[in-house]
Amino acid sequence: MNRGTPIDNILDAGVPMPSISSARFGIGEIVRHRMFDFRGVIFDVDPVFANSEEWYQAIPEGIRPRKDQPFYHLLAENDESTYTAYVSQQNLMHDDSDEPVDHPAVGDLFGDMTDGRYELKAGLKH
């Protein structure tokens, strides 16, 4: 007979729990990709991989990141364009340039940039 919380019941059933890793970066932080020449501002965080398997398999196996880590949604830019990107934590680092991100959607989500970080607009905060 199962008793307790739903988590207790899952543990009793022998279902493996995913490892939990903490997010190193937060919403509004400006980051840079470790291998590719782009940077962006974080607008959402998934605690573990939450994209399609097709997207994941399209990454070359030699550089394919683990799924059991935070993944970040970025308003990204490079020298040629702006776009959204989905990047694993292991492939990001802080951007120390103090330069704003020139993505057209930045103003829709964020207000001022203070100390190298964008402030999420008040109406969008939980």
Residue 21 has pLDDT above 80, yes or no: no
Q: Judge contact between 46 and 54, C-beta under 8 A.
A: no
- Number of domains forming the structure of the chain: 1
Is residue 6 assigned to a domain?
no
The CA distances from residue 100 to 30, 36, 40, 56, 92, in Å, are 8, 19, 9, 29, 17
pLDDT in tens, 68-107: 999 999 999 999 999 999 999 999 999 999 999 999 999 9
CATH number at residue 38: 2.30.30.390
Is residue 16 assigned to a domain?
no
Is residue 112 assigned to a domain?
yes
**Alpha carbon of residue 79 to chain centroid:** 21
Mean pLDDT of the chain: 88
Range of the domain at 92: 21-124
Is residue 38 assigned to a domain?
yes
